Structure 1
Amino acid sequence: MTVLILTREEDVTADMVVVHLNATGVPVVRLDPADLTDGVSLSGEFVHGTFRGHLSAGGRLVSIGGLRSVWVRRPGVPAARAATPSAWLTEEASQALYGMLRGCDARWMNHPDAARRARHKPWQLRLAQRCGLPVPATLITTFPQAAREFAERYPDLVVKPVSGAHPQDPPRAVPTSRVAPDTDFSAVAFGPTLLQRRVAKKADIRLTAVGERLLAARKAVAEDAHPDEVDVRFARDDAPWRPVEVPPRLASAVRAYLRDAELAYGAFDFAEDGDGMWWFLECNQSGQFGFVEVDTGQPIAHSVAGWLARPGPSAAAVPHQRRRRGGALSADQ
């Protein structure tokens, strides 16, 4: 059975996993939905109560019924590179591709419905808190007065985008920034703004979860680091990431998060304070891991490949599949 990887052509993270899958002889088909109708083709036939579907990419034909797993890594917008792209064609291509794939029994990393929900920052924060992960005080608002009152209660704040997205094409990373003490919050009225209490961190933590396996890495903050340098992605310090053990209580909370979010993969970011507490910042359901593996040697790509290559989907691994027990719908719907 075949592993299907949906991602863009230039994706080093996916490349690392493909190397491991090839080494074990597991068939892999990799395609970008953006190439639909121009390099990627699909066909599905419903006859006499059965479905036969196929995908073609790079001269290879794969049966949708023969997929063991689907890794939704960082796919492009369906049909974006078609000869005559349009919003209508994108919607048609998306409905056709993901609609067909939803009908197969493959295991997902991660299921599109779970992934879409998991991207919402307010939803993440609430779930993290409910699962027992410490969350800094946070406000998302378009009310300037609410922002001013929040700043009075928590004088040391950071501001970050609610979605993490940037309007530029291709999008750029938007840094988390420290809020100046004399900030005028009037501009909050023009768009949702996320304010969060700044954690005086001693280190950044990246915890990569692959199924039940948790691989954490720690990057210490330099003692002379400026307190305005709050985003590890833009820090001038070149300290390497080092492997670190996950505290048992936090490991249980992370696994609860994954279970409730119905995710097979998640890249968790934490800020470690002076007392050693890990404060939850976010979980990226398709986050990068190559930079951590290079520094730490942790077998993240190997773990992802192993999860994707596992034979045969199980009902528990397909949480979005509707199942009936004794004629009644199951409770996990």
Structure 2
Amino acid sequence: MTVLILTCEEDVTADMVVVHLNAAGVPVVRLDPADLTSTVALSGEFVHGAFRGHLSSAGRLVSLDGLRSVWVRRPGAAAARAAQPSAWLTEEASQALYGMLRGTGVRWMNHPDASVRARHKPWQLRLAQRSGLPVPATLITTFPQAARDFAERYPDLVVKPVSGAHPQDPPRAVPTTRVPPGADFAAVAYGPTLLQRRIAKRADIRLTAVGERILAARKDTAPGADPDVVDVRYAPSTTPWRPADVPPRLADAVRAYLRDAELAYGAFDFAEDADGTWWFLECNQSGQFGFVEVDTGQPIARTIAEWLAGPAPRPGPRSADRCGSAAS
């Protein structure tokens, strides 16, 4: 049976997993939904109570009944590179592709419905709390007075986007930024603002969860680091990521998070304070892992390949409607 990987052509992180699948002799088809109607084609037939579906890409034809798993890695918008792209065509192509795949009963990493839900930061924070993960005091508000009151209670704050999206095109990352003392919060009224107590961190933690397997890496804060640069993505540092042991209670909380989120994969970011507490910042349901594997040698790509190559779920009542879970 075949593993289907939905991602863009430039995704070198997916390449790392494909190498392991090829070495294990597991058939793989990799395509970008953006290429639908150009170099990717699909067909599905619903006749006499049965379904037959096929995908074609780069000269390869795969039966949807022959899929064991689908990895939704970094796919483009469906039909975005069609000869005459449009919002209407994207919606039609997306409905056709993902609608057919939803009916196959494959293992998902991650199921599209679970992925959409998992991107919501407020939802993440509440789920993290319920799962037993430490969460810094956080406020999301459009009330300037609420922001002022929050700043009085927690004078050392950072501000970050609720969605992570950049307002300009092409999209760029928006860094987490420290709020200066005496900040004027009047502009909060013009858009939801996420304020969070700053963690005086001694290290950043990237925890990668694949099914039941948890792999964590730690990056020490450089001595004399500028306390105003709080986003590890923008902090100049030559300190490598190193493997880290995961406290058992935190590992249990991460698994509970994945189980309730119905995710098979999650890249968790934590800030470790001076007491050794790992504070939950976010979980990216399709986060990068290549940079961690390069530094630490942790077998993340191989672990993902093994999960994708695992047995397909057994057909059961309403199996086509269920999201893939971390325990599946």
CA distance in 1, matches of 2:314, 2:306: 15
Q: How far 1:226 moved relative to its partner?
A: 1.2
Aligned residues: 322
Q: Is the 8 A contact 1:217 1:296 kept in 2?
A: yes
Give the superposition deviation at 1:188.
Answer: 1.3
In structure 2, what is the equivalent of residue 153 of structure 1? Answer: 153
- In 2, the alpha carbon distance for the partners of 1:231 and 1:320 equals 40
Shift of 1:206: 0.3
Aligned match of 1:140: 140
1:286 matched to 2:304: no
The reply on whether 1:131 has 2:131 as its aligned counterpart is yes
Contact 2:105–2:319 (Cα < 8 Å) also in 1: no
- Which SS does the other structure have where 1:72 is aligned? strand
What SS does the aligned partner of 1:20 have? helix
Distance 1:169 1:36, change over 3 A: farther
Aligned to 1:91: 91
Q: Which runs of 5+ in 2 are unaligned?
A: 324-328
Question: Does the aligned pair in 1 maintain the 2:219–2:240 contact within 8 Å?
Answer: yes
Unaligned runs of 5+ in 1: 324-333
| Cα distance in structure 1, aligned partners of 2:58 and 2:170 | 25
Residue in structure 2 matched with residue 69 of structure 1 by the alignment: 69
Given that 1:262 and 1:319 are in contact with CA atoms closer than 8 Å, whether structure 2 keeps it comes out as no
In 2, Cα distance between equivalents of 1:18 and 1:314: 25
C-alpha spacing 1:314/1:222, structure 2 compared with 1 (3 Å): farther
Deviation at 1:319, TM superposition (A): 7.3
Cα displacement (A) at 1:54: 0.5
CA distance in 2, matches of 1:132, 1:311: 31
Report SS of the residue matched to 1:286.
coil
1:17-71 C-alpha deviation (Å, 9 max, x unpaired): 0011111111100111111111111000000000000011111111111100000
What is the Cα-based RMSD across aligned positions, in Å? 1.5
- Shift of residue 168, structure 1, vs aligned partner: 3.3
User: 4+ residue runs of structure 1 moved beyond 4 angstroms?
Assistant: none
Give the Cα–Cα distance (whole angstroms) in 2 for the partners of residues 68 and 169 of structure 1: 37
SS at match of 2:321: coil
Aligned to 1:330: none
Deviation at 1:213, TM superposition (A): 0.3
SS of match in other structure, 2:55: strand
TM-score, length-scaled by structure 2? 0.96
Residue 327 of structure 1: aligned partner = none
Q: Identity, % of aligned pairs? A: 82
Counterparts in 2 of 1:83 and 1:210: CA distance versus 1, 3 Å: same
Provide the C-alpha distance between the structure 2 equivalents of 1:298 and 1:98, rounded to a whole number of angstroms.
32
The answer (yes or no) to whether the contact 1:158–1:195 under 8 Å persists in 2 is yes
Change (3 A) 1:31 1:170: farther
Shift of 1:320: 6.5
Q: How does 1:1-333 map to 2 (within 5 A)?
A: 1-314=1-314, 321=321
Corresponding letter in the other structure for 1:313: P
SS at match of 1:159: strand
Distance (Å, rounded) in 2 between the aligned partners of 1:301 and 1:173: 25
8 Å CA contact retained: 1:69, 1:313:
no
